[in-house]
Amino acid sequence: MRAAVLTVSDGVSQGEREDRSGDLLVELLAGDGYVVVRRVVPDERDAIADAVAGLADDGANLVLTTGGTGLGLRDVTPEATVAVLERAAPGIAEAIRADAVAKTPHGLLSRGLAGVRGRTLVVNLPGSPGGCRDGYAVLKPALEHALELLAGEPTTHRQT
């Protein structure tokens, strides 16, 4: 399975900050056997949308974004993501947000989305390493099944 990590950050894209969240997601995905590609873009709506669409259209089964999901004026990842999604997967974002709220009141401020483009699952995660770690932990138990469904593979829950 191919996964992509898209870091959305002005500071990382300009080489002013270390990409700790992206590094963590790559480590988690690689540890679970994914072949991982990685991109970094600034907090610009068109750049984010183009990157999400490009990664999905190039065959990534999963695109995880990190950054740009809060209330800051330049936090536009959800808006860019929804522009390129074909179907929403609100349960994923709701579960990630519920888990975050149980750990910190700042979880209420997350506007991350999840959905599908073609056969690719796209999930927005926060820009913090802790938020990425926790969000991936919420997603992980259902991830294999979700990707099987998107690939059109028979599963134990579907008759063929």
Q: What is the pLDDT of residues 103-151, one digit of tens each?
A: 999 999 999 999 999 999 999 999 999 999 999 999 999 999 999 999 9
Give pLDDT, residue 156. 66
68, 8 in Cβ contact below 8 A? yes
Burial class (CB in 10 A: 0-12, 13-18, 19+), 157: exposed
Reduced to 3 states, what is the DSSP secondary structure of residue 63?
A: strand
134, 100 in Cβ contact below 8 A? yes
- What is the average pLDDT value for the chain, to the nearest integer? 95
Give pLDDT, residue 159. 52
| Residue 43 per-residue DSSP state | S
100, 135 in Cβ contact below 8 A? yes
The predicted model gives 47-76 an average pLDDT of 97
Q: Is the pLDDT of residue 158 over 90?
A: no
The amino acid at residue 64 is L
Residue 14: how many CA atoms within 13 Å on its side-chain side?
Answer: 7
C-alpha of 141 from chain center: 15
The predicted model gives 24-53 an average pLDDT of 98
| Residue 74 per-residue DSSP state | T
Backbone angles phi, psi at 89, to 5 degrees: -130, 70
Give pLDDT, residue 153. 78
Give pLDDT, residue 154. 73
More confident residue, 157 or 44: 44
The whole-model pTM stands at 0.95
Look at residues 51, 36, 44 and name the one whose alpha carbon lies nearest to residue 3: 36
Backbone angles phi, psi at 47, to 5 degrees: -65, -40
Give pLDDT, residue 155. 66
